Structure formats: structure tokens, C-alpha cells
Amino acid sequence: MRAPGRAMTLGDRVGVGGRGRRRPCPCAEDGAASVVAVSFVGVVVALAAAVVVVLLASLASQSAAHAADAAALAAADAVSGAVPGEPCALAAEVASRNGARLATCEVTGADALVSVVVDRGAISATAASRAGPAG
């Protein structure tokens, strides 16, 4: 405790010598910041996992679209006689080389319609494509 008229010193503020000791706060919020921090980290981890799943699905979808386009073009080339071979067999081979498997293959006139499936772990993407002469 300081004398009247005397300026407060650092010792008076922190309670040097046992004077002016602070009593512990009987507050109910002890440790609440830890709970909030752990909850925040949990939310961030969950959001990151969701973003990874969405990105993997997008990647599988794009891979399927590219494989379907290439397989349809290969089948259309075989139909037109530009390359030798059976159209659907060529489409299956091209799809396989692009990491997909051929699901369906239909040849109607000079048009080839194919669909492929790409499996990336638990994620599966399907795409279809048509190739043939313009018009």
C-alpha cells in the first residue's frame, strides 16, 4: 500500500513483498481458450479434407472427359478408314491408355459414341463423347 501523496511505483502495481497480492480469479472460463482453439483447428482440418475430396472429384471428372474424347476420336478414325482396326476395340485401348475403362461403345453410320469410367480410389467419374464427321 502506498502513502497518500506518493506516486505509485512498479512494486506497488505487482505487489512486491506480499503487499497487494492478487487473488486468483474464481472464473469459470479457465481453459476456455484451449477449447476454442481445438475447435477451430478441427473445423480447419474438416474444411481442408472437404476441399481435397472436391479437387479429387474434379480431377477424375476431367480425366474421364479427356479419355472419352480420345476414345471417341479413335473409334471415329477406325470407322472412316483412317486407321485400321475395329472401332470399339481401338476405343477401349485408347481409354485404357488414358487411365479409364470403356463402358459403352456405339457406332452409328460414321459416328462413334463412347462412354468411359475413371476410378480414383473411392471416387468414380463417367464421361461420354461423340465423334464423327461434321454436320
Kindly list the domain boundaries of the chain, sorted by start residue: 33-131
The secondary structure of residue 108, as a DSSP letter, is: E
In tens digits, the chain (135 residues) has pLDDT values of 556 666 666 555 555 555 556 666 656 667 788 889 999 999 999 999 999 999 999 999 999 999 999 999 999 999 998 999 999 999 999 999 999 999 999 999 999 999 999 998 889 999 999 999 887
Cα separation, 100 vs 24, whole angstroms: 67
**What is each CA distance from 129 to 22, 116, 117, in whole angstroms?**
76, 9, 12
Of 10, 32, 12, 114, which Cα lies nearest the Cα of 67?
114
Distance (Å, whole) CA 113 – CA 135: 15
